[in-house]
Amino acid sequence: MTAFLYIVTVLVWGTSWLAITFQSGPVDSLISIFYRFALASLLLLPFLYLTGRLQKARRADHLWFFLQGCCMFSFNFICFYHSSKYMASGLVSIVFSAAIFYNAINNKLFWGVTPSKSVYGAGVLGISGLTLLFWQELMQTEASHELLLGIGLAALGTFGFSLGNMITVRHKKHDINPLTSTAYGMSYGTAVLLLIIFVTQTPVTWDDRPLYGFSLVYLSVFASIIGFTAYLSLVNRIGANQAAYATVVFPVIALALSSVFEDYTWGVMNSLGLVLVLLGNAVAMNLVKFPKRATVPVKL
């Protein structure tokens, strides 16, 4: 079951970054995010209620659902959508793969779970890999400021996503299943987005392109309902640190799609960078271990 959840998460989220770029157009990104989670919550919450799968929750639980909605289903996606305006969707997904490091740190801060020493070595590999991946873009002086802004927004969104992971760990401790937390979290996230739209007076418009409608349905049903439920189920089953490894695998799919649809080109530098990022995350997950230094007994 764990392997199945991994595959679903990787395939769905690996293709969702390209669908996000299809949302670019006359509709403000804030409105597109609202459409996405409004449709997802309108489909998921009534379905769970009518089928008797929606758990009863306490008032305190709803507070945490609200916080999870802010972290995972509203503010973080505002960052992701805006970052996609400044760099290729595949590169956004690479920054998102840093969730494994955020989770390791936040697990220590919030739950006292100490990350393994290999995480620090993995961090060096990951940062080196990201530098190589962005090397060509960073060397383009005219686009460097926008690229840095895009990286910063993606990193901020990833941090919010990690905080949502920590709330999921809390839900597990209170026997709240991922379907219930996802349904309520998306509903509260949608309400937050609606409030932001009202405060910022963002015009509510629609894009008549079939591609926009198709990508909206895909993002709502597959990337939101199925993708988040599968991922949060992984968090429940194997923990936040292990589940975050899924965010490492799908950038390969996302970058492959970027090379086809967004003219993202591969060279020696960014190819090596991708290898280092994947290797760093694999080390962090203890799939690859650094060789231990041999100790020589000292004779007295």
Residue 255 lies in a domain: yes
Longest dimension (CA), the chain: 83
Q: Residue 120's pLDDT is what? A: 67
CB 27 within 8 Å of CB 203: no
Structural domain harbouring 206: 2-284
Calculate the average pLDDT of the chain.
Answer: 85
Which tokens sit at 78?
A: 């505002």
More confident residue, 261 or 78: 78
Q: Give tens-digit pLDDT for 124-135.
A: 787 788 778 777
More confident residue, 52 or 257: 52
Q: Residue 142's pLDDT is what? A: 57
Contacts within 8 Å (CB) and 24+ apart, 104-108: 104/241, 104/284, 106/162, 106/163, 106/165, 106/166, 106/240, 107/166, 107/169, 107/240, 107/241
Q: What is the C-alpha separation between 40 and 219, in angstroms, rounded?
A: 9
pLDDT band at 298 (very low <50, low <70, confident <90, very high): very low
* Number of domains observed in the structure of the chain: 1
Residue 47 lies in a domain: yes
| Range picked from 116-125, 205-214, 234-243 for highest mean pLDDT | 205-214
- pTM (2 decimals)? 0.84
Residue 109 lies in a domain: yes
Q: Residue 299's pLDDT is what? A: 47
Residue 185 lies in a domain: yes
More confident residue, 223 or 130: 223
CB 284 within 8 Å of CB 118: yes
CA 206 to chain centre: 26
Averaged pLDDT, 113-118: 74
